[in-house]
Amino acid sequence: SLSDRLTGSLKDLRGKGRLSASDIDAVCREIRLALLDADVALPVVRAFIARIKERAKGAEVSAALNPAQQVVKIVNDELVGILGGETRRLTFAKNPPTVIMLAGLQGSGKTTLAGKLARWLKTQNHTPLLVACDLQRPGAVSQLQIVGERAGAAVFAPHPGTSIGGGENALGVSAADPVEVARAGVAEARAKQHDVVIIDTAGRLGIDAELMGQAAGIRDATAPDEVLFVLDAMIGQDAVSTAEAFQDGVGFTGVVLTKLDGDARGGAALSVREVTGRPIMFASTGEKLEDFDVFHPDRMASRILGMGDLLSLIEQAETVFDAKQAEDTAAKIGSGQLTLEDFLEQMMAIRKMGPIGNLLGMLPGAGQMKDALASVDDKQLDRVQAIIRGMTPAERADPKIINASRRLRIANGSGVKVSDVNQLVDRFFEARKMMASMAGRMGMPGARKQVQ
């Protein structure tokens, strides 16, 4: 998998100071192979790799991340970018009803999606009407009726085996003509105050001209606000040709990926997005109506990379670490001038990352701080924080001035015992001395890099 491959090549990067051209090439080779493995189309892979190389070359060496993390971040950012950045929302018509037409191969999940969309729209106070225009496949109409019932949405369908002309719909159209049913469905929605119409259409197992003609006919008859191309994420390399055929034959405004509960790694998402330029709007993750969500590019990116945990740690590390501040602190540590203010800042930065025990290990050069805090749990840290906050800026900057009367005032002010204040101040001086001597032993240039 990409995760395995990247982990392998990233291991080689660990400990290096900056990204060299050959580092970048080595990682890109792995990413390329892995994306092909994940069924991303070749031209898409090529374009992707080219962008990664460009960005990696120009990347600033971050103080918060080591080179390995930095490469992963670049790959992830690019992937999120291609997958669409922010999720696009449905476009609603100024004059209801909003018409949403579903198109895609048979079995891609259109009818199921119709129910999911209806359910989801209902939670947002819309009043969707489902329209059954798959008159090809036996049972398709009743499938939509079942799905609509589950979603609590009305379904417009021709009566089985009859012309719907004389029926209660009084439409005067042939039951066998999906275009007429679609047109009548929209009229029905307008008459009965449904603000959204979802048109379920027929699909074929493969692309064929008749299918496309019919879909285009429905499109022309109903002027949809959205045409959603429904794509089975398991389709792999066929995603590109299928998407292109639907783009040429019908056109679509958005993509829905289905069957993401399977083990597909998401190569189809990347290919279709890149080749058609259309946003992926929704994701379907199971057979139940609630197995559905708007599409999240960031989640898909980490699925494709298979590195979700690593990515969220990188994100946290980046938000809490300010390079300049880290460097200043390192200099102060090296010269034994760390203040309680710095100490508190460091502690706050580390705490933002969650339970300290799990997280200190991933900070580049957090060793000293980790040692200094090793015996301190989160609850104790709360107290330490309260004590330092109870000090004046002058006391924080120069803890030597914290005499007995000051200690009493600080203890009272922060609701702790004087002995707690004593302990903190003692520990601070110890830690400061220890860190300075460690930094000294490593030599200043090394110490500056190590201690962040």
Please identify which residue in the block is written with the tokens 């892979």: 45
106 binding partner (options ligand GDP, Mg ion, none; Cβ < 5 to 8 Å by kind): ligand GDP
Shortest distance in whole angstroms from residue 137 CB to Mg ion: 7
414 has binding-site annotation: no
Q: How far apart are CA 428 and CA 422, in angstroms?
A: 10
CB atoms within 10 A of CB 206: 11
CA distances (Å), 192 to each of 7, 196, 341, in order?
A: 58, 11, 67
Give backbone dihedrals phi and psi of 257, rounded to 5 degrees, phi first. Answer: -95, 130
DSSP tally for the chain: helices H, then strands E: 21, 8
84 has binding-site annotation: no
Going by the DSSP 8-state scheme, the letter that residue 107 receives in this structure is: T
Using CB under 5 A as the binding criterion, the count of chain residues that bind Mg ion stands at 3
210 binding partner (options ligand GDP, Mg ion, none; Cβ < 5 to 8 Å by kind): none
Shortest distance in whole angstroms from residue 157 CB to Mg ion: 12
104 binding partner (options ligand GDP, Mg ion, none; Cβ < 5 to 8 Å by kind): ligand GDP
201 has binding-site annotation: yes
Shortest distance in whole angstroms from residue 288 CB to ligand GDP: 9
Question: Is residue 111 involved in binding Mg ion (CB under 5 A)?
Answer: yes
Strands (E), 309-436: none
**Applying CB under 5 A, which part among 47-55, 103-111, 313-321, 336-344 lies near Mg ion?**
103-111
259 has binding-site annotation: yes
Shortest distance in whole angstroms from residue 202 CB to ligand GDP: 8
Please identify which residue in the block is written with the tokens 């809490």: 320
Shortest distance in whole angstroms from residue 106 CB to ligand GDP: 5
Nearer Cβ to ligand GDP, position 129 or 140? 140
Strand order in the sheet with 128-133: 154-156, 128-133, 196-201, 98-103, 226-232, 254-258, 280-284, 292-294
Residues near ligand GDP, by CB under 6 A:
104, 106-112, 203, 258-259, 261, 284-287, 291
Going by the DSSP 8-state scheme, the letter that residue 443 receives in this structure is: -
Fill in the per-residue mask, 422 to 441: x = in contact with Mg ion (CB under 5 A), - = not in contact: --------------------
Question: Is residue 201 involved in binding Mg ion (CB under 5 A)?
Answer: no
Please answer whether residues 181 and 132 qualify as being in contact, where contact means their C-beta atoms are separated by less than 8 angstroms. Answer: yes
Residue 93, judged by CB atoms within 10 A of its CB (0-12, 13-18, 19+), counts as middle
User: Which stretches of the chain bind Mg ion, using CB under 5 A?
Assistant: 110-111, 134
Instruction: Give the residue ranges of the annotated binding site for GTP.
Output: 104-111, 200-204, 258-261
